[in-house]
Chains A and B, each alone.
Chain A
Amino acid sequence: MKTFKLGGIHPAENKMAASQPIEEFPLPKQGIIPVSQHLGAPAKVLVKRGDQVKTGQLVAETAGFISANVHSPYTGKVKKIDHVIDASGYRHQAIIIDVAENEEWEEGIDTSGDIIRQVTAEPNEITEKMKAKGIVGLGGATFPSHVKLMVPEGKKVEYLIINGVECEPYLTNDHRLMLEKAEEMMIGVSILMKGLGVNKAIIGIENNKMDAVEKLQSLVKDFDGISVEPLKVKYPQGGEKQLIKALINREVPSGKLPLEVGCVVNNVATAYAVYEAVQKNKPLIDRIVTVTGKSLKKTANLKVRIGTKFSELVEYVGGLPEDTGKIVAGGPMTGKAITSLDVPVIKGTAGILIMNKKEARQAEPRTCIRCAKCTEVCPQGLEPFLLHQFGELQKPEDAEVNGIMDCIECGSCNYTCPSNRPLLEYIRYGKAQTNEMIRNRKQK
């Protein structure tokens, strides 16, 4: 079975929500819709206080090439436009909507459960639709998806790679999606193929989700050019560079995009969102969120409207346990710890992880014993112990030479360090310094 070669770790999977079917989460009373849910420029607000909005209405539009539309997930009245704390820990602009009782959808949106199999849209229509409906990469980076479809001239795309790896421990939202919305997702993949003009697509899934692999493989015969590839479990296989390496054995050159080796990578959830946008005209206003944690009474995979507060989701699974020590938006390896449960679900929220006091505390960092474990597990072939020193000593030049900008921040080095050194923290710090240095250099 295939996997990537360099480095990698095997954190405990803890995917206890894997058997929980997706549940539709009820509408909240109030929704908080940040305008910056994606990578790139924050969207420009189109509504003002007191405006009535319908479900699916455009409320903030793209501001720049790399930016995305934001739609209202609710019918109701705009209460205010304010700055609220989001998962980043800082305040950002958001539209706050009081949700009305009766839901009214924007015209043209197909809310029925019928599967539309015939793809009639032309490639440029597909791109336009994705742009209009605010589709972003749902794997976590929330990169505006339509930009990925605009292949620059001179570049040729051979493969569409669909990421169903879900290598983060705890998270199961992609897994459930592949099981329950398999056909829709496959149609989404073929739409993306059409949009890109490629005839080969590979769906990579780790072999701890064999049921999903089997389910998708049973559908493959209806779709030309799509194949499903089980992969050996290893973190961070979901990193796009690692995934490409594992599936077609090509290495994305340092500092380049997957396009360089003829690949475009999209997440399974993105494929599903594309299906909804193109076939059903539905903008990206909901997503599947895994709510999980060892101390929770039950775990769940919930289909949640964007803007629902974390607190409501946690309430749904039985409330916050007494001994909660940390709340993480996303998975344990790359997610962000948040300061309060008032944070809303955004397009990139894949899960909410509740950790108890014991899990939350990190052990005291100790001296580096130069065991080279970090070098062993780094999937990018870097030397984290060295980069971390350069970060600490503020030496961006040396850090750059040693490839600090290649770091994908997967956290494998931190995970494995016997001395609990905060390697990734210092590397991020070093990266910021190096970035600044490169910017300054370019300005000169």
Chain B
Amino acid sequence: MKKLWQVISLNFRLEFRERRSYFSILIYVLSTVYLANLVFMQSLSIESWNAFFWVIFLFAAVQAAFRSFSYEADQRFLLYYGMIAPEKLILGKIIYNFIYLSLLALITVLVFGFFMGFPIASPLAFITVLILASLGFSAILTLVAAIAAKAGNNPALPAILSIPLLYPQILTLSKLSLRGLSGFSWEVNSSLLIVLALLALVSLLLSYLLFPYLWRD
């Protein structure tokens, strides 16, 4: 437990030392949202709001999470290897990315809403979907970031590898969030929410089980 906490806090400290990575993600969100604004030039229907929001958040999340292994693929792995069990390392990274992506989701909503308006009928449902999305995304993206970091520096690799794996979640959560935008009934949608949570759980379990095979050389 202590080790786990150390991994999480270590990640925050390391990333904070390189603050420009946070800023670059922020600017990425700003510029893509503004691009959507420029292209549309008018208020969006809730369907387009939903679609644009998730595409922008997805790409920002891929960018953000990919950093989690990018500058420690080889040298620092060796250091970790003697200090910590791989299961704890991946759990710590996933928790770190979960916090990071949840904050990123919040910021994306605020920035996106500032330009495009907030057509959110039931905020509580929308936030639930956002949190479940961050959880599932972080589980998949952290493992894929490790694969991509190990595979060398092919800049397209993280997006190519992670986006198809995220489709099941995206499909479910965009449906849910659209209902969150237009008015949400917890009874009707509870089954979809459970599906989304289960998807996140399955991804989490797979990452946890498969990561130990990845990092030993």
Q: Real complex partners, A and B?
A: no
* Contact surface of A with B, Cβ cutoff 8 Å: none
* Contact surface of B with A, Cβ cutoff 8 Å: none
